[in-house]
Amino acid sequence: MRGVFITLEGPDGSGKSTQAALLADRLQQNGWPVLLTREPGGTAVGLQLRKILLGPDNQLAVMTEVLLMAADRAQHVEEVIGPALENNMIVICDRYVDSSLAYQGFGLLGDISQVKAINEVAIRGLWPDLTILLDVQPAVGLRRHGLHSGRAKGVGLDRIEQRNLDFHQRVRDGYHQLQSMYKERFALIDTTLLEIETVAQRLWEIVVQRLGIEIR
């Protein structure tokens, strides 16, 4: 028996990192062994790749971005995620393969076939047991990151966050397509108008119900 693999996905500003941490804390408080991690950058090698991928001054070809994301993920699965699941832990990952399908596939290439094929090699069949899609309207999400209407570039935004609103809308639409494609593992929460505590409670209820986790 292996552990449980939960991923949190969504457009920028949807609250993934906050909700991943809250979920990890709540599971730990209930006595479950939890590993909280993220992509890109879940390993020492991944941290170096993250600097390249997200550095606002870096100019990357689309396929360079696709391959570097997959390289980060391959290292992450080998070094962190796989061993934790073998040790029967609950792994919570802030972004995983669906981010590449949404951002590089739908967002940049307009198609996910190449990105999916590359990432299937990288993850070696390790798909999540449950993916929580935290949805948000792109303008709202970017505003949460400090990018306001009419500004060409937000201070402190990374290379991907700085892309235009049309790109972020394609990403959001792509996530909705992924939800339709993988209905058995996706659950959606629209965070656009919800408080953090409300989102956290809905997320908790989904995890308990979908995975049959007992409250200790």
pLDDT tens digits for 55-85? 999 999 999 999 999 999 999 999 999 999 9
Q: Is residue 170 part of a domain?
A: no
> Is residue 173 domain-resident?
no
In a domain, 202, yes or no: yes
Q: What angle do CA 100, 9, 190 make, to 5 degrees?
A: 135
Residue 120 domain-assigned (yes or no):
yes
Residue 157 is given by DSSP the state: -
Contact (CB, 8 A) for 55 and 46: no
Helix axes 44-54, 62-76, angle to 10 degrees: 160
Q: Residue 128 belongs to a domain with what CATH number? A: 3.40.50.300
116: closest CA among 172, 37, 182, 184?
182
Does a structural domain hold residue 174? no
Instruction: Tell me the two tokens of residue 40.
Output: 């890109």
Q: What is the pLDDT along the chain (216 residues), one digit of tens a residue?
A: 589 999 999 999 999 999 999 999 999 999 999 999 999 999 999 999 999 999 999 999 999 999 999 999 999 999 999 999 999 999 999 999 999 999 999 999 999 999 999 999 999 999 999 999 999 998 888 887 764 434 444 556 889 999 999 999 999 999 999 999 999 999 999 999 999 999 999 999 999 998 887 666
The length of the chain, given as a count of residues = 216
Q: pTM value?
A: 0.92
Burial class (CB in 10 A: 0-12, 13-18, 19+), 189: buried
Structural domain boundaries enclosing 195: 4-140+189-211
145 in any annotated domain = no
Q: Tell me the two tokens of residue 89.
A: 């832990």
- Output the pLDDT for position 1: 54
Instruction: Give me the pLDDT at residue 155, please.
Output: 55
Residue 46 lies in a domain: yes
What is the per-residue pLDDT for 152? 45
* CA quadruple 41, 16, 112, 60: dihedral sign: negative
Whether residue 164 lies inside any domain: the answer is no
Residue-level pLDDT at 149: 38
| Domain count along the chain | 1
